[in-house]
């Protein structure tokens, strides 16, 4: 199979909120030769159930096998392939910027243009927050990079099926 046959898939799993469940899920994907590209995990409104949103790259045939294998794990309640339904996807990023005298005016203008939220601001650094699609975040990073990015923390995809 060539790389061109692979595309990104977003899977949503409801799992029992127990230790080692995530390790078994990661082992299942790794055992089939797939990497988890992004991961978002948290407890649901029911504290006994967690939701895992993960992205991976696979062929259409293999993603079906991955979904089937994950569905068979003991503590997995449900697996949904959000790539096959209309869904809402967002990522969030925190960006710590160096505040340099020569770039500060342009940075302030750019922050406003990009609709980034300023979380902290001091004499030599600021921390920004931006939420949007992966493509939007990539554009924000490309725009801010020449202005002095010091560090980033990125969530990966949070997603859910869109219901009408």
- Tokens coding 5: 């046959």
**Are residues 66 and 100 both part of a single domain?**
no
What is the C-alpha radius of gyration for the chain, rounded to an integer number of angstroms?
Answer: 19
Which phi-psi region, left, alpha or beta, contains residue 21 (left: φ > 0; alpha: ψ -120 to 50)?
A: alpha
Note if the pTM is more than 0.95: no
What pLDDT is recorded for position 164?
79
Please count the structural domains in the chain.
2
CATH number at residue 9: 3.30.70.260
**Are residues 111 and 38 both part of a single domain?**
no
Domain of 14, in residue numbers: 3-84
Below-70 pLDDT ranges, the chain: 1-4
**Are residues 94 and 138 both part of a single domain?**
yes
**Are residues 142 and 100 both part of a single domain?**
yes
CATH number at residue 141: 3.30.70.1150
Residues 6+ apart with CB under 8 A from 83: 7, 8, 9, 10, 63
**Are residues 76 and 124 both part of a single domain?**
no
User: What's the burial of 55, exposed, middle or buried (CB within 10 Å: 0-12/13-18/19+)?
Assistant: buried
Secondary structure class of 101 (helix, strand, coil)? coil
Listed residues 84, 113, 140: the one ending a domain: 84
User: In terms of residues, how long is the chain?
Assistant: 164
Indicate the DSSP class of residue 10.
Answer: E
**Are residues 41 and 66 both part of a single domain?**
yes
Residue of 23, 52, 22, 24 lying closest to 40 (CA atoms): 52
CB 16 within 8 A of CB 43: no
Q: The tokens 């600021």 sit on which residue?
A: 126
**Are residues 101 and 72 both part of a single domain?**
no
Listed residues 58, 84, 110: the one ending a domain: 84
* pLDDT tens per residue across span 127-139: 999 999 999 999 9
């Amino acid at each position: 199979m060539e790389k061109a046959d692979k595309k990104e898939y977003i899977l949503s799993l409801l799992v029992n909120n127990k230790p080692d469940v995530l390790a078994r899920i990661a082992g299942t994907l790794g055992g089939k030769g797939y990497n988890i590209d992004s991961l978002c995990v948290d407890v649901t409104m029911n504290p006994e159930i967690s939701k895992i949103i993960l992205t991976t790259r696979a062929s259409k045939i293999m993603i079906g096998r991955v979904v089937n294998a994950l569905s068979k794990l003991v503590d997995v309640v449900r697996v949904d392939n959000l790539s096959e339904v209309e869904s809402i996807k967002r990522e969030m990023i925190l960006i710590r910027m160096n505040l340099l005298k020569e770039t500060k005016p342009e940075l302030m203008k750019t922050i406003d243009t990009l609709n980034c939220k300023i979380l902290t601001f001091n004499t030599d650094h600021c921390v920004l927050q931006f939420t949007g699609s992966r493509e939007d975040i990539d554009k924000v990073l490309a725009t801010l990079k020449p202005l002095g990015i010091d560090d980033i923390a990125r969530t990966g995809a949070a997603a859910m099926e869109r219901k009408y």
